[in-house]
Structures are given as C-alpha cells and as structure tokens.
Structure 1
Amino acid sequence: MQSPGVFDPDKRKLLSALSHGSIFLSGLVISIAIPIAVLFVSDDPVVKDNAKEAINFHFNVWLYGLILVPLSFITLGLAGGIWWLVHWGLTLWAISHSLNKPDQAFRYPFIFRLL
C-alpha cells in the first residue's frame, strides 16, 4: 500500500502515454474516450493533467483537420500532409516526454486549451 501523495511511476507512465497515444486513433471519434476515462479513473494529478492536455489536443487536431482537409485540395495535399506530420510528431514527443519525465505533465505548444 502506498502512502498518500505517492504514486506508482510505472502506472503514471502507462496512463499518461496511453492518454497521449490515443490520438493515433483520431480517425475514430471514440479515441477521445480514452483520455476522458483516464481523467475520471485516476487520482494521480500528473496523469489527470496529461489526460486533460490529450483531450485538448484531440479538439485541436479535429479543428485544424476541418480547416486543412479542404485546403489540401487547393494545395495538392501539402497542407494536410504537413498537419499530419506535425500532429503525429507532437504526439510522439508527448509520449516520449511521459515515459522519460513521468513526474512532469506534457504541454503541447500552440494549441487552444478548453480544459
């Protein structure tokens, strides 16, 4: 049994990485359910912060997708391709950060935060 305020680092890494990694399923609208579930089942403040950030990133990916997919037809796929690389790159960065610095929540740069 752990004392209050002490959290399992392996569980923290797993749940934080799972929250951020759920964006790889962003083609499925249900992918946002993963960080929402993590937000509600975890009592770890770092995991909760990572889950909130992942939820915010989902909203941003969808918003920019709505803008850039039509723009891709004009730019022959360039706009959508660049956004695809950026959003996957940011996700990989977030997962790496969660695994290497588990005591610090990841913050995506240049996103709108609703939560």
Structure 2
Amino acid sequence: MYDTDKRKVLSALCHGAIFFSMTLVSVAVPIFITFVTNDPVVRENAKESINFHINVWVYGFILGILISMTWGVLVPVAGIGFIVHWGLTILALFYVLSDTRKPFRYPLIFRLV
C-alpha cells in the first residue's frame, strides 16, 4: 500500500511545477519525481504533467509564429490559451489533491511520453 499523503504531495509537485517556471524546470521536476518514486499513480501523474508541459510549449511556439505573421491579430487567442493553460493546471492540482486513487488526465493533449 502506498502512502496517500506522499502521493498527494508528489503528484501536486508534478502538476504544479509550471508555477515555478515556464522553462525546463517545469519538466525537470516531474522527471526527477519519476526516477525517485515507485508509486504507479505518481509516475502516471508525472508523465501526464510532462506531456502537458511539452504541449504548452509546442502550442505557444506555433501561436507565437502565427501572431508574428498576422501582426498581432491573434493576441486575444493567446490570452484565451493562457487562461486555459492555467485553468487546466489548477484543475489538475485540485484533482490530485482530492482523489489519490487514479492519475489526472489532461483533455485534448498529445501524449508523447
């Protein structure tokens, strides 16, 4: 049996790593947690978090190119994306802190890892 408090903290760290930084730190934390834990739910949360961060980077890169090509017309779309990004992260944190039996799955992302 796995410790539920430890599971909550590690899963929340994985999903909340984006609040530390939008750089590689947000992916380094879940990768590190994947290597130090043997809890299957925490490992799945870490993989899902890594996938989400990679998707955010890819979508941001594509949107940045489109904004520069349209001279800023798509800036409101970036604002909506920003709100969705933070909203999904907060939703993931609430979920992993309330239900420790199964990992959180982000909707509409490509699962690369």
Alignment of 1:51-66 (within 5 A): 51-66=46-61
Q: 1:3 matched to which residue of 2?
A: none
Write the distance in 2 (CA, Å) between the matches of 1:81 and 1:18.
25
CA RMSD of aligned residues (A): 1.3
Pair 1:33–1:70, CA change in 2 (3 A): same
Give the conservation status (yes or no) of the 8 Å contact 2:96–2:103. yes
Partner in structure 1 of residue 10 of structure 2: 15
The number of aligned residues is 110
- Displacement of 1:30 in angstroms is 2.3
**Which residue number corresponds to residue 19 of structure 2?**
24
* TM-score normalised by structure 2 residue count: 0.90
1:35 and 2:33 correspond: no
Deviations along 1:57-85, whole A, 9 cap, x unmatched? 01101000001123345325212111110
Q: Is 2:30–2:47's contact at 8 Å kept on the other side of the alignment? A: yes
Which of 67, 78, 81 pairs up with 2:79? 81
Provide the C-alpha distance between the structure 1 equivalents of 2:62 and 2:36, rounded to a whole number of angstroms: 33
> Whole-Å Cα distance in 2 between the matches of residues 60 and 30 of structure 1?
15
Deviations 1:12-53, CA, capped at 9 Å, x for gaps: 000001000012234222221000001110100000000000
Match of 2:97?
Answer: 99
Q: Residues of 1 paired with 2:76 and 2:98: CA distance?
A: 33
Distance between the aligned counterparts of 2:77 and 2:24, measured in 1? 22
**Consecutive unaligned residues in structure 1, runs of 5 or more:** 1-5
